[in-house]
């Protein structure tokens, strides 16, 4: 009804305002960290040459092992990579509060398996035990044409939900399967499941069955928005106390 639409619009406006504020506050320190890393990286060769010259002239006796220098170089690269990723997360935060998440984004042809692995690698698991509940099953890889950052965010949302309900059930496992013959990525868990009453509404914006503080009701609606935007589909099957299965189906990748 009209009152519900007004309430949802007000909620979306609030989410957008808060998300935008947080994103812009985070952007500044991320850019500062990246600039410092780039500065150190640019001066590192000069420092190494100076040290080597000092050793040759008997001015420095303590050794710096090559592996230590390699570790330093790798750390600087990692700092830059992580700040770049943090900025992409900020972009996702801003995108998530938009009604048109794909507008202005570049579509690239990417590997489904690589996208899934990147999402799992980046996901902030609360513990090693939590991560052990997850199994990847790459039947055969296939290509997808889409903004990778959005697909990673879709997988984050689905993985977060699966971990929540598996944890709530006190056990269970999560499986992510990639299959080229059906062009599908399937996320299945053996958690508490979704009731037949709630299942038709799970993709409605602001609808949630999680406890207060565990969900805003925008994650699954965002997933559907992204999948619709790339010409794919997202479907859910579930049996209470048995399983929940989300199936992402992708169109043929663009070529050329």
Cβ atoms of residues 230 and 249 within 8 Å: no
**Domain spanning 108-249: which CATH class is it, in words?**
alpha beta
Distance CA 96, CA 118 (A): 19
Residues of the chain predicted below pLDDT 70: 1-2, 4-29, 60-68, 85, 87-104, 210-217, 255-256
**Segments making up each domain of the chain, as ranges:** 2-96, 108-249
Give the closest residue to 187 by CA, choosing from 121, 244, 242: 244
- Name the E strands within 99-139: 108-111, 134-138
Q: What is the CA radius of gyration of the chain?
A: 23
- Write down the pLDDT at residue 213: 47
| Distance from chain centroid for Cα 249 | 18
Phi and psi at residue 243, to the nearest 5°: -160, 165
- Sign, Cα dihedral of 164, 149, 202, 15: positive
Average predicted confidence (pLDDT) for the chain: 80
Buried b or exposed e, range 63-94, using 16+ CB within 10 angstroms? eeeeeeeeebeeebeebbeebeebbebbbbbb
Long-range contacts of 164-169 (CB under 8 A, 24+ apart): 164/191, 164/210, 164/214, 164/215, 165/189, 165/191, 165/192, 165/193, 165/244, 166/133, 166/190, 166/191, 167/130, 167/191, 168/192, 169/241
């Amino acid at each position: 009804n009209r009152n519900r639409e007004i309430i949802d619009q007000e909620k979306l406006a609030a989410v957008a305002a808060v998300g935008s504020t947080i994103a812009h506050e985070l952007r500044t320190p991320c850019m500062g960290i990246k600039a410092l890393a780039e500065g150190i990286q640019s001066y590192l060769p000069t420092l190494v040459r100076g040290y080597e010259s000092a050793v040759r002239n008997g001015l420095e006796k303590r050794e710096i092992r090559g592996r230590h220098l390699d570790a330093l170089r790798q750390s600087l690269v990692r700092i830059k990579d992580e700040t770049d990723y943090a900025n992409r997360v900020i972009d996702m935060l801003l995108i998530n509060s938009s009604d048109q998440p794909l507008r202005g984004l570049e579509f690239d042809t990417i590997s489904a398996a690589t996208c899934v692995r990147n999402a799992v690698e980046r996901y902030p698991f609360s513990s090693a035990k939590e991560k052990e509940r997850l199994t990847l099953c790459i039947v055969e890889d296939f290509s997808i044409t889409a903004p990778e950052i959005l697909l990673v965010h879709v997988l984050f949302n689905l993985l977060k939900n699966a971990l929540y309900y598996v944890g709530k059930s006190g056990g269970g496992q999560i499986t992510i399967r990639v299959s080229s013959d059906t062009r599908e990525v399937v996320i299945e868990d053996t958690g508490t499941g979704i009731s037949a009453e709630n299942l038709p509404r799970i993709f409605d914006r602001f609808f949630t069955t999680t406890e207060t503080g565990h969900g805003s009701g925008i994650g699954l609606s965002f997933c559907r928005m992204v999948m619709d935007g790339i010409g794919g589909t997202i479907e859910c099957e579930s049996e209470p106390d048995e399983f929940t299965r989300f199936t992402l189906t992708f169109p043929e990748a663009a070529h050329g």
